[in-house]
A and B are shown apart, each in its own frame.
Chain A
Amino acid sequence: GNSVTQMEGPVTLSEEAFLTINCTYTATGYPSLFWYVQYPGEGLQLLLKATKADDKGSNKGFEATYRKETTSFHLEKGSVQVSDSAVYFCAPSDNNNDMRFGAGTRLTVKP
């Protein structure tokens, strides 16, 4: 099955700083790749996704590019806000069965 290695946290940044959260995966095929976000006190929700190599997923100023050659899907944002404080999860999936997530990276943004 697929597996994912995610950058360990916690990550603490000042407002307007640049964010990178690393994610690499192992898979037998070419899965779709997802980033989910969990805000305090809530369940996970989809942040962005990419379905094939070189696709870029983007949402709310966040971006991630599907890199087949490095099996990576790093999450980036050019200028973080306090409201981005959350836990971020990376996940590969090829058929929605046995959906497993990375360990999660907790981001705290300070004003």
Chain B
Amino acid sequence: DSGVTQTPKHLITATGQRVTLRCSPRSGDLSVYWYQQSLDQGLQFLIQYYNGEERAKGNILERFSAQQFPDLHSELNLSSLELGDSALYFCASSDRTGAAGELFFGEGSRLTVL
């Protein structure tokens, strides 16, 4: 158990819809990362937050947005869903920024868009 909790574990929805994925980081971790893993594209970095502020942005579509709340949990909002958005979405957390350290991953949220 990494200590990172993601909900829901599975989600099935239709094209055009909007979903919210939630992540609770390990206790005390200030950094939260979001990744998308699809079969043909490996693990894609989407966005990182540190203590409520956006720290780095990767290949995140404009239809996607994220935020980190004062209690440090984070949400990833996916809107106007397309078939190609079907993927595993991982959240990770770490206790630092400014120095390299281990990331702790949740078990992922599997999104299926029909």
Contact = CB atoms under 8 A, between A and B. Distances in A.
Interface of A: 31-32, 34, 36, 41-46, 49, 51, 89, 93-104
A44 B107 CA distance: 8
A95 B100 contact: yes
A98 B94 contact: no
Contacts of B4: 43
Interface of A is mostly: loop
B45 interface: yes
Given A51-B100, A95-B98, A97-B55, A45 B105 contact: yes
B43 A46 contact: no
A89 B43 contact: yes
Interface residues of B, number: 28
A44 B108 CA distance: 10
B105 A95 contact: no
Nearest to A42: B107
A102 B56 CA distance: 18
Contacts of B103: 36, 44, 46, 96, 99
B99 to A, nearest CB: 6
B108 A43 contact: yes
A77 B4 CA distance: 29
Nearest to B56: A98
A95 B99 contact: yes
Contacts of A98: 45, 48, 55-56, 58
A100 B106 contact: no
A96 B31 contact: yes
Contacts of A89: 43
